[in-house]
Homo-oligomer: A and B are copies of this chain.
Amino acid sequence: MALDRGGWAMPRRSAARLKCSSSATATTYSSSRVSSRSIPSGYRCMPEASWLLPQACWSTGNRSGGVPQPRGCDIPRRRPKQTTMGSYAMSSDERQVQEILAHYVRAADQRNGKAQGSLFTDDATVQIYAKGGSGGYRPVGEPLVGGPAVRYATENFMAPHPEGGASHHTTSDHLIEVDGDRAHINAQFIVFRIRAAARPADGWPEGTFGAQGTVTPIESGYYDTDLRHIDGVWKIVHHRVLLDMPLVLPGA
C-alpha cells in the first residue's frame, strides 16, 4: 500500500507481488531504492515484534474512513526554537526526542510506512533482540538498514489488522540523554492487541452495555534508541527492540 506514493520507484505491479501473503510464506524482492544491503536477503513476512503483528500480512490497508483521524502519524517537523516568551513555547530536546518515539508507535500501530520511514536516517539500523529461555538477548535476523527499508518493512512485512482490529504500542518510564546533536532514549514498551466485537446482524443482545471488544497485552520489552539532530530534526540512527520473549518467524 502506498508504495507508489511519495516517490517510490517500484511499479505498483511489482509492489503488489512483493507484499507478503496471508499464508505468510517467504517473499523476496529487489528495488533500486531498497537495496539488497538495506533489507537482508530472505527477509520475509514477519509477525509483530513490537512492530510486527503475528498475523497474515498486508492486503487492503487499514485506513479508518471517516471522521477524526488520531493525529500523530505525520512527519514530525521541528518547530523553531524560541524562548518561552515567544508565541511558541520552547519544547525541550528531551520532549522532542520523546515525541519521536510517540510518532514511532503510532506509525507502527497504523502501519504507516511513510511516516515510520521518515523517522530514520538513511543509514539507520533497526535490530530486534529476543530473550531466550536462559535470559540472554539474541539478535533476531539481521538489522534493517535505512528509512526506506523501514518504510518498506512497515508496508509489506507488518501484518495488517483484521476487521475490527487495532493495536497500541505504548511506552513508559523514559530515560533520555541529550548531548548536543546526539540523544539516547530507553523506554519500556507494552504492546496491546485490540479486537473490536462485531455487531451481530440483528443488533446487540438485550442488556449489552459498554465497550465491546478485547484489549490484550501481547508483547513487552525495552526500546533502546540513539538519535541525531540533523537539519533541525531528530532522527533515529540506531533502534534496538529488546523483546522479553522468543520471536518465531516462519522459515527462520
Residue positions of A touching B, CB distance < 8 A: 24, 47-49, 52-55, 62-68, 70-72, 79, 81, 84, 87-95, 99, 101-103, 105-106, 129-139, 163-164, 166, 168-180, 184, 186, 188, 190, 192, 194, 196-199, 204, 208-213, 215-220, 222, 224, 240, 242-250
Complex contact B211–A67 (CB within 8 A):
no
Say which residue of B135, B173, B211, B220 sits within 8 Å of A247 (CB atoms): B211
Say which residue of B63, B66, B208, B246 sits within 8 Å of A248 (CB atoms): B208
* Contacts A93-B84, A99-B175; A196 near B244 (Cβ below 8 A): yes
Question: In the complex this chain forms, how many copies of it are found?
Answer: 3
Complex contact B211–A164 (CB within 8 A):
no
The residues of B that contact A194 with a CB separation of less than 8 Å are: 220, 244-245
The residues of B that contact A134 with a CB separation of less than 8 Å are: 65, 163
The residues of B that contact A64 with a CB separation of less than 8 Å are: 131, 135-137
* Contacts A163-B134, A209-B248; A94 near B102 (Cβ below 8 A): no
If over half of A's interface residues share one DSSP class (helix, strand or loop), that class is named, otherwise mixed; here it is mixed
Known A52-B210, A102-B174, A106-B188; 6 more pairs at CB < 8 Å: A79-B177, A92-B94, A99-B174, A131-B196, A133-B163, A170-B172
A194→B70 CA distance, assembly (Å): 27
Say which residue of B71, B139, B198 sits within 8 Å of A133 (CB atoms): B198
A24→B137 CA distance, assembly (Å): 30
Complex contact B188–A217 (CB within 8 A):
no
A38→B11 CA distance, assembly (Å): 53
A91→B240 CA distance, assembly (Å): 24
A179→B89 CA distance, assembly (Å): 6
Complex contact B186–A71 (CB within 8 A):
yes
A216→B247 CA distance, assembly (Å): 18
Distance between A130 CB and nearest chain B CB, rounded to angstroms: 8
A211→B48 CA distance, assembly (Å): 8
Complex contact A168–B196 (CB within 8 A):
no
* Contacts A64-B131, A137-B67, A247-B211; A170 near B188 (Cβ below 8 A): yes
Distance between A71 CB and nearest chain B CB, rounded to angstroms: 5
